[in-house]
Amino acid sequence: MLERLLSHPIIHIATIGAILLGVFLCVFPDAVPPLSWVVNYAVQLMLFYLAAGLIVLFLKQPRLTFSFFGGCVLLCFYLKYSANMDGIERLRQQMVQGHKNDNDAPHIFIPDLKIAHINLTNVNSHEEVPTVVRAIGADIVFFHEVTPNWETLLQDSFAHSHPFNHTMLDIGLYGMSVFSKFKLVDIDTLYFNEIPNLSGQVEVDKNSFSFLSIHTQPALDEFSKKRLHEHLGLVEKKVARTEGPMLVIGEFNAVSWSDQIKVFLNQTNLMESRTGFMPTSVAGKISIWDLPLDHIFYSGEFICTNFQNIEGQLGQHLGILGTYHFLKEHSHAKKTAQ
């Protein structure tokens, strides 16, 4: 009965049309603004096409099998060439360059850095944060959505282990904190339409790098997309004025393959730490439902050697963790005139 139903020409036409519509909405999200959110689920849609193709293959429906597998392949190519995630090749080239630098200068031990970003709005309980941070062993932790109550807890929990810290409170959702095992200098606040962005430098032994922690608003319609573009444009200018190693961390509210992130990376020459669409968590789990809206972007003076999701005690997404290595010694991160 099911096979007969699936063989009906109308079912074929409707299914093929739905597959093509899904691919079209992912590849051209601005074509139908009310449905532009579909692009965020391109990975899940690709996996659905793959699973559906296997099911109809078992049911001996060659036309539908070809259609579902074709949609899966098209989304594979779209994700492959629209997201800056050539992590394996990028790592290989950087390690070759790092080896050349080591041959040109005396060997200097440069430690790896573990950088974490955690959004406190996803935390289940106050006791969860110290437990998670101790488990991941991060050298520097950027917290978002910090309230006055959270500020007190963070100070009590990390003032000893991460003695260099700075908190920027906000009456809305944009409070930020940074807790570091290394010295923080030149801390400043960059505003976009009253939304604060935290910037500064970190001194690591004889090395240093600049950072910018940002929290954008979601792009849900044409107006908010323009606002996100303008916010990232401000960050692009800040990155352009900063010389030396740099990390840009935070809640971007946009997936890696979105037009906003692609333009941002092209303009800044920063690289995406996430080398896959579904990175494993620190506990080794993989979730196909988490949208990669938080990012750590880094400049070419670094190598990103590892990247993971951070999960809470109930399995909820708390943030991300990246491990970075200086390609060579940087005695200071210069800044041009503001």
Average pLDDT, the chain: 84
Strands 140-144 and 113-119: parallel
How far apart, in whole angstroms, are the C-alpha atoms of residue 144 and residue 179?
12
> Alpha-carbon distance 108 to 124, whole Å?
42
> Which pLDDT belongs to residue 124?
84
Q: Does the pLDDT of residue 24 top 90, yes or no?
A: yes
Residue 320 has pLDDT above 50, yes or no: yes
CB atoms within 10 A of CB 30: 10
Inter-residue contact 20 to 76 (CB < 8 Å): no
> 139 — phi, psi (to 5°)?
-80, -35
212 pLDDT higher than 50: yes
pTM (predicted TM-score): 0.84
pLDDT at residue 107, rounded to an integer: 45
Q: What percent of the chain stands above pLDDT 70?
A: 82
Q: What is the per-residue pLDDT across 264-318, written as a single tens digit (0 to 9) for each?
A: 999 999 998 887 665 655 555 666 677 889 999 999 888 888 888 898 888 888 9
Give exposure, 272-285, as e/b (b: 16+ Cβ within 10 Å): bbbbebebebbeee
